[in-house]
Amino acid sequence: MSTVDSFGSKGVLSVNGTDYEIFRLKAVEGSQKLPYSLKVLLENLLRTEDGANITEGHIKALANWDPSAEPDTEIQFTPARVIMQDFTGVPCVVDLATMREAVKELGGDPSKINPLAPAELVIDHSVQIDTFGTADAITRNMDIEYQRNGERYKFLRWGQTAFDDFKVVPPGMGIVHQVNIEYLARTIMAREVGGVLRAYPDTVVGTDSHTTMVNGLGVLGWGVGGIEAEAAMLGQPVSMLIPRVVGFKLTGSIPSGATATDVVLTITEMLREHGVVGKFVEFYGEGVGQVPLANRATIGNMSPEFGSTAAMFPIDEKTLEYLRLTGRSEEQVALVEAYTKEQGLWHDPSVDVEYSEYLELDLSTVVPSIAGPKRPQDRILLSDSKSQFKSDIKNYAKDGETDKSAQVSMADGREFELKNGAVSIASITSCTNTSNPSVMMAAGVLARNAAAKGLTAKPWVKTSIAPGSKVVTDYYEKAGLLPDLEKLGFYVVGYGCATCIGNSGPLEPEISEAIQSEDLSVTAVLSGNRNFEGRISPDVKMNYL
């Protein structure tokens, strides 16, 4: 469908000899003062204006956005692409196949049924940690995964060959959101429309709540239900109210000893207390330029835990550096830079932007923290963790039984005492943190130091590493840190969501039996993003991030 273009915004952007059709935001009065995320929405409306679902009035309403007003204007947002994981994505592909069958029965050409927007599915939700603590754990877990899911995987393989604009990332490659930022995300799309090469912001809806991880790359996107994802695949817009936008100012830099995880737990606590449900959060200020892209992705990933729809970082030099680091072409990087500077989407901390609400964090004040035992916003200073744990255990163990224990005899002859509160699962897991080299390298160095001092894991702890992509294993191997992690029992068990979504696999039978028979309250410690009761393992009541 052609664009009405009531504002005469259509133009041409030349980048290194290539011409791209674009829709210039400057053609719309008032666009300059909008937050970054709303500028992306405004361009979306300009480009998809059809005079019916999207009209001149909708565009003016967004350009004249009142930061102080409550949302009351509905707009139609057309995402550039759709991303899915295998649990929620398979039904979408089944529906496409069913549509083809229906067209065939009606005498039509079933091959005409295809996604109109690029759709990508990453298989990451099926791997379980059945085997751990051994060098062949990853091979054995993948073998079991294929046995359990063979029929689904054959169907998805068929889908990739049958449908245009539909790609499947096979099992064992990584977690959807990490694969998205490292490989799939374009930041600025370039696509032929009506015989003309058009450039526009990459936007995405996904069938997983943590789709917002890509917000750290300057890509507007969030999680939706399967029906909305299917509609988007078929070119239909997503209905939404023009949201309130919370400006979150960052100043200073992260101090030595604190990590991106500490930053995101601090931000989670602040935003949960403030209240951001149904709102966009947008990070701005001089401090944004000090935040590495990996840290931005960690923060964006936690948007569902904040309660917000999206948690956006603007595009700047850090974005371009990351695109180059992850192997994007120089042509793509040049397009991202030229387009964002032309459209006023390039981050400029000197420009005053209006927001609905304001928060501020001096990054230099961030201190080491954990969160738990059942909510990510329940932040605990690391220095207070021992005393807080003694208090927390009283809420789970029966009165007077906080020191209760059980004697466990393993089939291999090991014997030990399992106490209330014991850590039974320790897992380096989730795209939230395994996408971040700084915290992953810190874990590796800590393992090296622990191994050098002769420390070992306790026999009742199920240990694992489930990276979000093979990039992690690659730099661990090059740094020589994998042997040190393995000395502590942390072997790579698979590339997928694993422990973070509850695919931690069963505890050893004798340990599980002791927990259940004696009603012990044991603990999991993980680098995940959610920790509500029962999520990590049915045997584990307390979970600390």
On the question of a cis peptide bond just before residue 373, with omega within 30 degrees of 0, the verdict is: yes
91 found inside a domain: no
Per-residue pLDDT, 426: 95
The answer to whether residues 291 and 425 belong to one domain is no
CB 340 within 8 A of CB 19: no
Return the residue matching tokens 């005409």: 112
Burial of 183 (0-12, 13-18, 19+ CB in 10 A): middle
Mean of pLDDT values over 507-524? 94
Picking from 367, 401, 431, the residue at the C-terminal end of a domain is 367
Mean pLDDT value across residues 493-511: 92
Confidence of residue 397 (pLDDT cuts 50, 70, 90): confident
Average pLDDT, the chain: 95
Q: Is pLDDT of 14 > 70?
A: yes
Q: How confident is the model at residue 73 (pLDDT cuts 50, 70, 90)?
A: very high
Phi, psi (deg, nearest 5) at residue 30: 100, -10
The answer on 409 and 355 residing in a single domain is no
**What confidence category does residue 398 fall into, taking pLDDT thresholds of 50, 70 and 90?**
confident
CATH code for the domain of 324: 3.40.1060.10
Residue 145 has pLDDT above 70, yes or no: yes
- What was the pLDDT predicted at 1? 56
pLDDT tens-digit map of 29-66: 999 999 999 999 999 999 999 999 999 999 999 999 99
271 and 236 in contact (C-beta within 8 Å)?
no
Q: Give the H or E element holding residue 109.
A: none
Residue 18 has a pLDDT of 97
My answer on whether 529 and 454 are in the same domain is yes
pTM for the full predicted model: 0.94
Flag whether 507 is in a domain. Answer: yes
Please name the residue that has the structure tokens 């899911």. 149
DSSP one-letter string for 147-178: HHHHHHHHHHHHHHHHSTTEEEEPTTSB-HHH
330 φ, ψ (degrees, to nearest 5): -65, -30
Residues 339 and 361 in one domain: yes
Q: Is the dihedral of CA 332, 338, 342, 344 positive or negative?
A: positive
Total structural domains within the chain: 3
Structure-model confidence comparison of residues 406 and 202, the more confident one: 202
Q: Exposed, middle or buried by CB within 10 Å (0-12, 13-18, 19+), for 101? A: exposed
CA-based nearest residue to 387, from 370, 405, 401 = 370
Residues 417, 253: Cα–Cα separation, whole Å = 44
Instruction: Give yes or no: residues 363 and 401 share one domain.
Output: no
User: Percentage of the chain with pLDDT > 90?
Assistant: 93
CA–CA dist 182, 212 (Å, integer): 14
pLDDT bin (cut points 50, 70, 90) of residue 533 is: confident
Q: Is the pLDDT of residue 534 over 90?
A: no
Q: What is the mean pLDDT of residues 120-147?
A: 95
Q: Which band of pLDDT confidence, cut at 50, 70 and 90, is reported for residue 400? A: confident
Query: Does residue 346 sit in the same domain as residue 399?
Result: no
In a domain, 152, yes or no: no
pLDDT of 225 above 80? yes
Looking at the DSSP bridge assignments, the partners of residue 489 are: none
Q: What is the percent of the chain where pLDDT is above 70?
A: 100
**pLDDT at 2 > cutoff 80:** no
Residues 539, 404, single domain; the answer is yes
- Domain-located, residue 109: no
Q: Are 83 and 184 in contact (CB under 8 A)?
A: yes
Residues 449 and 513 in one domain: yes
- In contact, 74 and 196? CB cutoff 8 Å: no
Are 322 and 431 in the same domain? no
Longest dimension (CA), the chain: 79
Residue pair 502/535 in contact by the 8 Å Cβ criterion: yes
Q: What letters, b where the CB count within 10 A reaches 16 and e where it falls short, cover 32-69? A: eebbbbbbbbbbbbbbbbeeeebbeebbebbbebebee
Q: Of 333, 367, 401, which residue constitutes the final position of a domain?
A: 367
pLDDT band at 401 (very low <50, low <70, confident <90, very high): confident
Q: Is residue 143 part of a domain?
A: no
| CA within 13 Å, CB half, 206 | 32
Residues 325 and 456 placed together within one structural domain of the fold: no
Chain centroid to CA 242? 23
Element counts in the chain: helices (H) and strands (E): 17, 23
Block residue for tokens 């992705």: 297
3-state secondary structure of 123: coil
| Residue 123 in domain | no
Q: Tens digits of per-residue pLDDT, 84-127?
A: 999 999 999 999 999 999 999 999 999 999 999 999 999 999 99
Say if 73 falls within a structural domain.
Answer: no
Residues 525 and 405 in one domain: yes
- Tens-place pLDDT, residues 354-385: 999 999 999 999 999 999 999 999 999 999 99
pLDDT of 153: 95
Q: Are residues 531 and 403 in the same domain?
A: yes
Please count the CA atoms within 13 angstroms of the CA of 333 that sit on its side-chain side. 15
User: What is the extent of the structural domain holding 273?
Assistant: 243-367
Q: For residue range 241-275, list pLDDT tens digits in order.
A: 999 999 999 999 999 999 999 999 999 999 999 99
Provide the β-strand partners of residue 543.
524
For the cut 80, the answer to whether the pLDDT of residue 523 exceeds it is: yes
Residue 255, pLDDT score = 93
Among 338, 367, 396, which residue terminates a domain?
Answer: 367
In a domain, 421, yes or no: yes
- Per-residue pLDDT, averaged over 191-216, amounts to 96
Backbone angles phi, psi at 252, to 5 degrees: 70, -165
> What DSSP string runs through 411-455?
TTS-EEEEETT-EEEEEE--HHHHT-HHHHHHHHHHHHHHHHTT-
Task: Give the pLDDT mean for 470-488.
Answer: 96
CB 308 within 8 A of CB 273: no
Structure tokens that stand for 301 in this block = 């990933």
Compute the distance between CA of residue 534 and CA of residue 538 in angstroms, rounded to an integer. 5
| pLDDT reported for residue 497 | 93
Residue with tokens 């590493």: 465
